[in-house]
Structure 1
Amino acid sequence: MSIKTTVTLLKISTVTILSFAFALGMKYYDSIQKYEKLQELNKIDKEAYANDLKEILSRYDAEVQKNYQLTTQNQNKKGIVVENESKSVRKMKEVPNTSTLYLKKIDSFKTVLKKQNNENSELNTQVSTLKDKNRELASKNLANETIISTSKNLTAINVVANGVRISANNIIETKRFNTTEQVKVCFTLLENKAAIKGYKDIYIQILNPENKVVAKNGEVIDSDNKLLLFSAKTNVYYDNEDLDVCVFVDPNKQQIIKGDYEINIYSGINLIGSTVFSLK
């Protein structure tokens, strides 16, 4: 399976999991809304039940007071008193029936709320599991992106550097620092099918024995608020095949001294090859 196919599958997996997470989130939000609505209805019914019960007791007290007044005014009208007491008793008997009805409603709401809580708990578990899978997938994606990014980097091999001098339009290699007019750096950009085809900026950095960058004009790159200084830059067209490159660097004559020189090859800010050469 190619890297491109792997990346495509990872993207498809990510989109699928995110869609599933969105669906679960919507279901969870709907469940919360239903739960809050049931709580509100339960509160309203409890208040209605309390008001009804209060009204029944108030009416009962009124009837008792009325019966007491009738009894005081006329002891001989026993039939009326008995009838009024019978009405009060019937009203008292209605209270338990009303209470039972509201208690049944409350129990019904409790059952619904318990069921809703169980569904919410299950949904929370699913969301938590999905979050874990998303974190795992994100970690894998990051690792794969790092691998892919690394695989796209260029590699410079067979890096060779020498001092040269110009004599009658001839380029003559030299190992003596006092006769060196230029530094010739040659290397091969290795074949890489994963790299992006096109023009590439290649930077040459020459460090003299005092660890100073040898450069007459030089090139500078600003990377993460840090300036990188190079001796020279060349632009080549890379076709994903082996490519031989040679660069002639004009140094500052005062920086050419006796000793070992370090040559670093960069593609952008990425070090892709290096070597060492000496001048006597």
Structure 2
Amino acid sequence: MGPHRKPSRMEDRITPAEVEMVLRHAAELSARRRGSDTLANSISPEVLVQVAAALGIAESDVRRALSDLVSDKAAEPDTLAFKLYGSARIKTVREIESPAEPTRTHLEELLQREQSLKLRRKTEAISLWDAGDVLGTVRRALDFSGHYSLLKVRSVELRVEDVGYGRSGARLIADVSNQRGEYLSLGGILGATLALPLAIAGVYDWLYFLAVIPALAAPGAGFRLAYQKSCADIRRALDSLLDAAEEGPPREGLSDQPRDRKPGQIQGLKPIPKFTQPSNE
């Protein structure tokens, strides 16, 4: 008789969220060990479907995720700005332990209250937000503290989907193509301003021509670093919104309790009792 096989327990099984976490971490470890991602380390969609089927993921869900990935890549053309400064779309994804509708409502409130964004367009699947009116543009120009980082982007797309088990998948995508264009233009103008006198001086002394290329490249490199810092601030703002969505809306239990006094009324103090010295009579 063969050895007794213990039945699998519920605590030995992992949830779909943990499957995603394990696979993502394993992919990061594999990419770190093999180096940068190349075509040699890539796989075909058919192989991905087979691997997902082994994990119990439906083929339709895999095809849908692949189409979303392709649409994200096609949404940004391969332009000179993309080659010099990188992507203009900042995306953050989070799985939240709450249904889709409360999560969507809470994130929309956060976008409006915390970042002062205005709702531009809303459908059943997505909602699009931007700075809105002239007041938002003025606040963007005067935001030296960086608290309203999302006012500087062209638009913010919010998408919340139901992933089952009472959970939802939230995705925020910020379009920063306006900032990338501004930094690229400023870098080009400043570089041309610095390089033009050197090129004119190079007519009389050829040594000045050696400084033309550094004069053109230095401003572009500086504005590229500024653009990366701005993208980091925007990503941090998106992550903070998803963190707040994970915590859920503030509880209203304290506000439902009866108040001993009216709002704004100062509660009076009880009088201090007087202690008199007893007489010796």
TM-score range, shorter chain: under 0.3
Q: Please identify which structure carries the higher strand content.
A: 1
TM-score of the pair, normalised by structure 1: 0.25
Structure number, greater radius of gyration? 1
TM-score of the pair, normalised by structure 2: 0.25
